[in-house]
Amino acid sequence: MGDGVVSKSPAPLALPDLPAAKLARSFRRNAPGYLFLAPWLLGFAVFTVGPALASLYLSFTDYDLVRAPELVGLANYVRIATADPKFAASIHVTFIYVILSVPLKLAFALVIALVLNRGIAGLPLYRAIFYLPSLLGSSVAIAVLWRQLFAADGLVNAVLGHFGYAGPSWISNPRYSLYTLVLLSVWQFGSPMIIFLAGLRQMPRDVYEAASIDGASKLRQFFRITLPLLSPVIFFNAIVQTIDAFRAFTPAFVISGGSGGPINSTLFYTLYLYQEAFGNFRMGYASALAWVLMIIIALFTVFSFLTSRYWVYYDE
Amino acid sequence: MNRWRSNSAEGIRERPFWRSIVTHGALIAASLGMVYPILWMIAGSLRPQEEIFGGTTSIIPSQVTIEAYRDGWFGLQVSFGRFFANSLAISVLSSIGNVVAASAVAFAFAKLKFFGRDFWFALMLGTLMLPYEVTLIPQYVLFQRLGWVNTWLPLVVPKFLAVDAFFIFLIVQFFRQLPRELDEAAQIDGCSAWGIYWRIILPLSGPVLATAAIFSFIWTWEDFFGPLIYVSDMKLYTVQLGLSTFVDSSGTSSWSELFAMSILSLVPVFLIFLFFQRTLIEGIATTGMKR
């Protein structure tokens, strides 16, 4: 690592060979930085940029891991856009999942955060309990639990039975299976709740006091002060949660046994991508699917940022 | 009670008192509803098999048996003990890799001056937005060519190369808050870049390194997709993969064993939750992690 950051080398006595000395000095100045950066540079080249470019290339090919990739032009994308009912099904499922789970999750997170933020006793305990599902929720164990909760003879139906209602098998009924997964996602509202709580704690007290003195009701204060001031945090949570929801995989895989069934009702986008890549070994097609996902997420993000100036309040 | 009555004369204080009872009641009900399924799963792992099918909603088993834990543990050709050891090894290695690599890279970005630093930093931030799926297939092909498929290397090596830029970002944010005078003084005293990193910056960074290590451990422990595509030899399975295989092989016939193994798979994360709750919650509050 040498004498790294410092570049106070003693002046050379003889007249230096200029380019070489310059090079040496530049090396001394930059070497420590690049040495510390080295792991990332290597990982970036080998595991990020290289593969990203390679998958862009593969998306224009037929590739089955055995024979060399064969260029097919736009065929994969054309098929995605026009002739793949499973793609259409997976987009449908994923969009419903995103559109339902994200707003519901954020609404729960915000409501509970508002309640907890009123200087309530036992805040740390409540916060911890509400956060726990968020922490455990993405594991296979919870998906297993969900599969049993909403099975024909599961806990949900046992509870409904007490009220004299015989529920269906939620998991294996294509009309309901996706909604059990929406519920699983909403159940994990804990981490956006914590982010909301952190945001609420920054709220300027004097503004509320002034509003109270002016006779603004609590409801009015919420819509006119809290919501606008919190909008950057809502915006952030919405983006993070949406991207995450687009990429959901584990619960659908475990609940449907990897099939996305019944009748493609839980065929999440990433699950379909997985099936194409590692079930059918259509690596070229799966790469195209990955880039379509990338484009969807990018479009969503750009759209959010463009519209954000109409509904996100920034101080300056 | 007297105090409240005297306040009610002013006509203000009585409502908050009753409201706080209502609020606590609602919050307790909501918390119970949230954790009830988990408690029910714990109970299910301890009660005799028939009772789960009996449509019970209670979280108190009529009789307690640990049979399911014994049977579940040996429910597949390879025991869950092996899966746990594998998961532990992979998670610990990943934690170490992420902390070592990300802290070194973060040090370069936050504390060193070098040509092209801002350019690389922007690129690093850009990778935060890149969905994993986009690099997935060529990575798989690469690991296959290297002969790494069906080993742990694809799960661990990228962590030692700081591929998860999130951890770099997390640590950079922390390093930037450390007073500049510290490393400048050390620099003037002739301390090398390595010395500044190792003897000055790292010792001050316990909290952020702990946050990175803990989240890295939990995410790796819960990771299902990575092991699913890279590991096929059951002796190398992680807990998540073992559990998923157990679901497929036993179907709905042995819920109590599935529950028992599911509960065990949650224990490490739950213990971290118990002991490092503040680190977890502060980590999320300050960085906006998704879970």
For position A314, what pLDDT does the model report? 75
With an 8 Å Cβ cutoff, are A5 and B113 in contact? yes
- Mean pLDDT on A85-95: 94
pLDDT band (50, 70, 90) for residue B289: low
Q: Which of A145, A174, A127 is nearest to A250 (CA)?
A: A145
CATH code of the domain containing A201: 1.10.3720.10
* Residue B192 to residue A29, Cβ atoms within 8 A: no
Identify any residues that bridge with A70 across adjacent strands, giving them in sequence order: A62
Asked if the C-beta of B44 comes within 8 angstroms of chain A's C-beta atoms, the answer is yes
Segment B260-280 shows an average pLDDT of: 92
Residue B66: pLDDT band by 50, 70, 90 thresholds? confident
Rg of chain B over Cα atoms, rounded to whole angstroms, equals 25
Query: Is A50 contained in some domain?
Result: no
8 A C-beta contact, residue A1 and residue B193: yes
Say if residue A3's pLDDT is above 50.
Answer: no
Q: Which domain covers residue B8, as residue numbers?
A: 2-65
Residue-range definition of the domain harbouring residue A209: 84-311
> What tokens appear for A25 in the block?
């000095």
Which range has the top average pLDDT, B34-43, B181-190, B248-257? B34-43
CA distance B65 to chain A (A): 19
User: Does A97 fall in a domain?
Assistant: yes
Which residue in chain B has the smallest CA separation from A302? B129
B266 — pLDDT class (breaks 50, 70, 90): very high
Instruction: Please give the pLDDT value at position A315.
Output: 65
Local structure of A70: helix, strand or coil: strand
CA pair distance A267, A85, nearest whole angstrom? 12
- For the segment A72-77, the average pLDDT, to the nearest whole number, is 92
- Say yes or no: B264 and B144 in one domain: yes
Integer CA distances (angstroms), A60 to A283, A284, B111, B193, B226, in order: 10, 7, 42, 46, 25
A-B Cβ pairs (cutoff 8 Å, strict): 288
Q: In the structure, what pLDDT confidence band is assigned to residue B251 with cuts at 50, 70 and 90? A: low
Residue B53 phi, psi (nearest 5): -75, -15
Q: What's the average model confidence in pLDDT over B238-260?
A: 85
Same domain, B159 and B258: yes
Domain annotation covers residue B72 = no
At B272 the pLDDT is 93
Contact B135 A277 (CB under 8 A): no
Which segment, A93-102, A222-231, B254-263, is predicted with the most confidence on average? A93-102
Residue linked to tokens 């970036």: A44
pLDDT at B152 over 90: yes
Structural domain contains residue A105: yes
**Of B76 and B120, which is predicted with more confidence?**
B120
**Euclidean distance between CA atoms B139 and B134, whole angstroms:** 10
Dump pLDDT digits (tens) for A158-211.
888 888 888 888 888 888 989 999 999 999 999 999 999 988 988 888 888 888
Phi-psi region of A263 (alpha: psi -120 to 50; beta: other; left: phi over 0): left
pLDDT in tens, A283-309: 999 999 999 999 999 999 899 889 888
Interchain contact, B120 vs A37, CB within 8 Å? yes
Same domain, B126 and B152: yes
Tell me the CA distances in angstroms from B257 to A90, A149, B86, B270, one per residue in order. 33, 15, 20, 20
Do B179 and B266 fall within a single domain? Answer: yes
Q: Output the pLDDT for position A14.
A: 54
Cβ contacts of A141 on chain B, cutoff 8 Å: 243, 261-263, 265-266
C-alpha distance from B192 to closest chain A C-alpha (Å): 5
pLDDT value, residue B59: 77
The answer to the question of residue B74 being in a domain is: no
Q: Residue B199: CB partners within 8 Å, gap ≥ 6? A: B186, B191
Count up the domains in chain B and report the number: 2
Residue A58 lies in a domain: no
On average, the pLDDT of chain B sits at: 86
A211's tokens: 């509003």
Q: Are B37 and B125 members of one domain? A: no
The answer to ipTM > 0.95 is: no
CB contact under 8 A, B57 and A136: no
For chain A, say whether B70 makes contact (Cβ under 8 Å): no
Residue A62 lies in a domain: no
Assess whether B263 and B166 both reside in one domain: yes
- Predicted confidence (pLDDT) at residue B1 exceeds the cutoff of 60: no
Q: Is A263 helix (H, G, I), strand (E, B) or coil?
A: coil
pTM reported for the whole predicted model: 0.88
> Nearest-CA distance from A180 to chain B in Å?
14
Which positions ≥6 away from B117 have C-beta within 8 Å? A33, B108, B109
A194 to chain B: closest CA residue? B285
B58 interface with A at CB cutoff 8 Å: no
CATH of the domain at B207: 1.10.3720.10
pLDDT grade, residue B291 (50/70/90)? low
Q: Residues B17, B98: one domain?
A: no
B84 within some domain: yes
Q: How many domains does chain A have?
A: 1
Residue A13 has pLDDT above 60, yes or no: no
Indicate the pLDDT class of residue B280, thresholds 50, 70 and 90.
confident
Q: Given an 8 Å threshold on Cβ–Cβ distance, is A48 in contact with B135? A: yes
Q: Are residues B151 and B277 in the same domain?
A: yes
Name the least confident of A66-80, A121-135, A291-305, B3-17.
Answer: B3-17
- Average pLDDT score over residue span A51-76: 92
pLDDT for the residue numbered B288? 67
Report chain B residues whose CB lies below 8 A from the CB of A195. 284-285, 288
Q: Is residue B231 part of a domain?
A: yes
Q: Which residue of A has its CA nearest to B193?
A: A4
Q: Do B13 and B133 fall within a single domain? A: no
What is the band of A4 on the pLDDT scale with cuts at 50, 70, 90?
A: very low
Closest Cβ opposite residue B57 in set A5, A159, A188? A159
Contact A46 B142 (CB under 8 A): yes
